[in-house]
Amino acid sequence: MKFNWKVTASAIAMAVSSGLHADVLPDYQADSAWFTDAQSKLEAKMATDNRFKAKNVILFVGDGMGISTLTSSRIMKGQLNGQPGEEGYLQFETFPHTALVKTYNVDAQTPDSAGTMTAMMSGLKTDVGVIGVDEDIERGNCATVATNEVVTALELAEIKGLSTGIVSTARITHATPAATYAKSADRNWEDVSDMPEEAVTAGCKDIADQLVNFENYLEARYNGIDVDGIEVAFGGGRRHFLPKDAAFNSNDAVSETEGDRTDERDLTAEWQQKYTNGVYVTDQAGFDGIDPAATTRAFGLFNESHMQYDADRGNDVAGEPSIAQMTSKAIDILDNNKKGFFLMVESGRIDHAHHAGNAAGALSDTLAFEQAVMAAVENTNPEETLILVTADHGHVFTIAGYPKRGNPILGKVVNVGEEEPATAADGMPYTTVGYMNGLGFQNLGDETDSDESYNYDIAAGRMDLTGVDTTTPGYHQEALIPLSSETHSGEDIALHATGPGSQLVQGVVEQNVIFHLMDQALGLVNE
């Protein structure tokens, strides 16, 4: 005889709430922390607010923040707090709704950030390496842009009268932030010096130009519709806005040469002339001086290239705000608009640390990203703000071996019941986390700048780690396949959600569904 174990959600709810058959459970089971914790989480999900419409939407994108990065980061977070680590959560992992997201591009099994972010921002998938255009684009061909442009969630929010903002620890012209506002046949066209002459002659605009003149391009593209323009843009990438001229060279600790533009334009000056009520800042002091209550528009470029890894921010005399600080300030400015706002926040350097093969850097920036998400939670009304936390893709980063509970996540594998590191068949110890491909082993000790690894020769394959402290910030994990840069991966990533409309985040979905979730919450396409 077979039993039908299928029960409805309402039956489960009734059983939980009424304590049905609770008397058959032994006390050690019913009182177990594992048991009560799981039950309380279920009850919290059952009590979720089921409203669909939101006043505000904040999309958080951890660039390269795959599932293994989430797991490793939560373990490291716990261990930094003196706990084993495995039992904890990143704060956004406790959001009531979660889905898995398929990340492939139209033409690629393993995606890039341009194609994936365009999917999230437009509602349709596209090719690798192109921004704000559909799959009929020919990468690098300027002539194919005009007939294949897509409308983004940020543009629709502008048209609706909402305030809009972009925050990134990468260059603000890099693929992920650029996909919110730009249309480009190539993600690398960050300024005019990056573009082929034929593209410039044909009238295609570089990404930095499109940011500064977003309002003009949007109004021209959509039949003269009136918009206010992007209210907040914080990130790196100053060099793409300044002319290649010695007069614009920097004497700070970040860079000796600032500008890349070969058209002699200073786009930061153009922005300030265009928005006389706006505030342009380049360092921590300028950022701290922004009064959100009195500011309607802010533009911050805090590094000539990408902003520093979170672990390195203190090394710059001028200083750079953290991703959490930028998020809080952006919200405080944007919520001056009573109609609401759309904000995209990217932690771009998780991805860069992974490309360098430096797990410590990637996990550190993930924890800084978590603080940004919590800053948003604390500074918004949960009844009117939909918060989505996701990634664009993962990396070939894995957790392996059989380490015992609480073993340092960046350490060597020590098996259950043992005290000394386990050895592989080659007689050498090995780490819990590692990479399928990339530059491979580097032991830079306390050095935290992951980019420094690119100054070294590829050292893929096995190394004797017997006398190496693999838990230091500068340790770069072993890699199997030698490549000049570790690669993205093709597996699904996570989407966590809270707020109005978050109950729609469930199951396994295509990445372009994220746009439709935001549209549903804000009524961007149809009220």
Which sequence positions are flagged as catalytic?
113
Q: Specify the residue for token string 């919110």.
A: 180
Half-sphere exposure of residue 244: CA atoms within 13 angstroms, side-chain side: 8
Q: Given its phi and psi angles, is residue 461 left (phi above 0), alpha (psi -120 to 50 degrees) or beta? A: left
Cα–Cα dist 190/173, whole Å:
6
Residue 340: strand pairing partners: none
- Of 64, 137, 141, the residue nearest 491 (C-alpha): 64
The pair phi, psi for residue 354, each rounded to 5°, is: -60, -45
Helix (H, G, I), strand (E, B), or coil: what is residue 203? coil
Instruction: At 126, list the tokens.
Output: 């596209």
- DSSP class of residue 421? P
How far is CA 205 from its chain centroid? 26
Q: Are 116 and 392 in contact (CB under 8 A)?
A: yes
E strands within 295-337? 298-301
- Of 237, 231, 293, the residue nearest 260 (C-alpha): 237
Q: Are 62 and 364 in contact (CB under 8 A)?
A: no
Cα–Cα dist 430/416, whole Å:
15
CA distances from 438 to 57, 261, 268, 396 (A): 36, 32, 37, 9
Tell me the CA end-to-end span of the chain in Å, nearest whole number.
53
**Long-range CB contacts (within 8 A, 24+) of 461-465:** 462/424, 462/426, 462/428, 463/428, 464/428, 465/412, 465/428, 465/429, 465/430, 465/431
